[in-house]
Homo-oligomer: A and B are copies of this chain.
């Protein structure tokens, strides 16, 4: 572990000039520049970033928090955030919160202690929570941006898919293809963006068709996961046969598919199913899933850009357009449906 001093000594120059050439700054003439570089290479010199950060009073790592890294959606988010960060010579420290607010708190606390240059957080599926730690982040002047969701009682830049639009497009398509009784399986907290905005789009589509959704079209699930999708769909089916079941994400949709199949009904012939996200395995299953694709690379790019944007406003709300992806899990229904 050679130090800058070693390099300087070996090159026969002072630490100061050695520092200049190592950082490629103007000043030293080419001849000495070569000498220093040669010495550095021979000594296998690698700058100590702790010392560098301390002296420069800046850091080159940003923190990313996600709720569930085993979900390919967040895997994809992570991949692209990492990629765009790398282009700015920034490292990425990752921590997973398991969708728990307390854990999220302590992760963020660690981030600010580590002196990260910025924080990107995909928050828990709650609409609001204790924001003390987030205020700490502000006080420490460290930029933060939310992706995929946000807290209603804390103002910070965020980049999300236009969830409402996505649900609108999907619902529109379903109504146009003869579906009338469409059930929507959402998360528990109806005020969380993952639910609220999607429900808005859902209802808007019905409104535009001068139609009314089923009286109990919105079904809340304890968690937005496979198990919940399976259970709630089972319950729905037991009480009747809707034209379609749509969910707030793809894994829930897979759960619904399973429930329908086990009940003896078929997808899409008896009941159409659609999800949200377009995670990899959505297209891989035997009955490829109709879904709403989120443009993850764009989301990641916008988030990183926002983090490094100096005129980063508190109220920025970037929306990325979704894309309806029609596959095999939905199918046109006759209009004379059962009621």
Complex alpha-carbon distance, A69 and B280, angstroms: 12
CB nearest neighbor in B for A285: B285
Partner of A59, one of B50, B78, B82, B141: B50
Alpha-carbon distance between A1 and B285 when the two chains are bound, in angstroms: 52
* A311 at the B interface (CB under 8 A): no
Provide the main secondary structure of the chain A interface.
helix
Residues of B within 8 A of A86 (CB): 95
A110→B91 contact, CB < 8 A: yes
Give the residue of B46, B75, B82, B112 whose beta carbon is less than 8 angstroms from that of A113.
B46
Interface centre among A59, A76, A94, A115 (most CB of B within 10 A): A94
A287 at the interface (CB under 8 A from B): yes
A304 at the interface (CB under 8 A from B): no
Whether A79 and B50, one on each chain, are in contact in the complex, defined by CB atoms closer than 8 angstroms, is: no
- Contact-size category for A: 35 or more
A72 sits at the interface (CB 8 A):
yes
With A1-B140, A94-B78 already in contact, the answer to whether A284 and B226 are too (CB < 8 A) is yes
| Bound form: Cα–Cα A139–B92 in Å | 25
Residues of B within 8 A of A53 (CB): 50
On whether A46 and B112 interact (CB within 8 A), knowing A54-B51, A82-B96, A95-B92, the answer reads yes
Residues of B within 8 A of A96 (CB): 78-79, 82-83
B113 touches A49 (CB 8 A): yes
Q: A54-B51, A226-B284 are in contact. Are A136 and B44 (CB under 8 A)?
A: yes
Tell me if A70 is interfacial: C-beta within 8 Å of chain B. Answer: yes
Partner of A72, one of B61, B70, B95, B226: B70
1/0 contact string of A227-269 vs chain B (CB within 8 Å): 0000000000000000000000001001101100100000000
Scan A161-196; emit 1 where CB is below 8 A from any B CB, else 0.
000000000000000000000000000000000000
Residues of chain B with a CB closer than 8 A to A211's CB: none
Which chain A residues (281-299) contact chain B, with CB distance < 8 Å? 281, 284-287
Query: Which chain B residue lies CB-closest to A140?
Result: B1
A261 (CB) vs chain B CBs: closest residue: B286
The answer to whether residues A93 and B94 also contact, given A79-B69, A251-B284 and a CB cut-off of 8 A, is yes
Taking the complex as formed, is A48 at the interface, i.e. its CB lies under 8 A from any CB of chain B?
yes
Asked if A14 is at the interface (CB within 8 A of a chain B CB), the reply is: no
Instruction: Give complex CA distance A126, B215 in Å.
Output: 58
103-128 of chain A: CB within 8 A of chain B: 110, 112-115
Contact string, A133-164, partner B, CB cutoff 8 A, digits 1/0? 00010011100000000000000000000000
Measured CB to CB, the closest approach of chain B to A204, in angstroms, equals 31
Q: Verify if A71 is at the interface (C-beta below 8 Å from B).
A: yes
* Docked-complex contact A93 and B91, CB < 8 angstroms: yes
* A213 within 8 Å of B (CB atoms): no
B71 near A91: Cβ-Cβ < 8 Å: no
- Taken together as a complex, chains A and B put the C-alpha atoms of A257 and B287 apart, in Å, by 12
Contact of A94 among B46, B92, B110 (CB under 8 A): B92
Instruction: Give A49-106 interface residues, CB cut-off 8 Å to B.
Output: 49-51, 53-54, 59, 61, 69-72, 74-76, 78-79, 82-83, 86, 91-96
